[in-house]
Amino acid sequence: MKECNKLWMYLLIAGICEIIWAVSLGYSEGFTIPWYAAAVVIFLSISIYLLSKAINGGLPVGTAYAVWVGIGSVGTMAVSIILGNEPAAPLNMLFVGAIIIGIIGLQVTCGAKAQD
């Protein structure tokens, strides 16, 4: 169980790194602003590395990829709302809710290979 929590922690941090590089990409203006371009490369690398730790630690690739993408999307949407680039529309919140329920559902059932 402890091992499983560690793998989910990798996945969570990988997802947070996704948010940082995705937001940086938006500010890099087609990779022309060096600091933002560097942030994209660095955080994307960390994100992929942590994803590999989660997968090779025993999380199913299907689960890991979906959660990784899900955290990235919810986080990027949250940043957009905070920065005022996107409205907190009911439909947005519905989709955010669906992603969060999906992630929590997979986490509760752990998704470890013990389920086989």
Partner 1 sequence: MIVEWVYLLVAGLLEPCWVIALEKSDRFRKVPWAIATVAILIASLYLLSLSMALIGPGTSYAVWTGIGAVLTMVLGIVIYKEPAVLVRISFIMLIVAGVVGLNLVSGAA
Q: Which residues bind partner 1 (CB under 8 A)?
A: 48-49, 51-53, 55-56, 60-63, 65-67, 69-70, 73-74, 77, 80, 86-87, 89, 91-92, 94-99, 101-103, 105-106, 109, 111, 113, 115-116
Question: Whole-number minimum distance, CB 60 to partner 1, in Å?
Answer: 4
Question: Whole-number minimum distance, CB 2 to partner 1, in Å?
Answer: 19
Nearer to partner 1, 35 or 62 (CB): 62
DSSP structural state of residue 115 = G
Question: Whole-number minimum distance, CB 33 to partner 1, in Å?
Answer: 16
Question: Whole-number minimum distance, CB 97 to partner 1, in Å?
Answer: 8
Residue by residue, DSSP assigns 55-114 as HHTT--HHHHHHHHHHHHHHHHHHHHHHTTSS---HHHHHHHHHHHHHHHHHHHT---GG
Identify the three-state secondary structure at position 32: coil
Instruction: Provide the sign of the torsion angle of the four alpha carbons 21, 27, 29, 31, taken in this order.
Output: negative
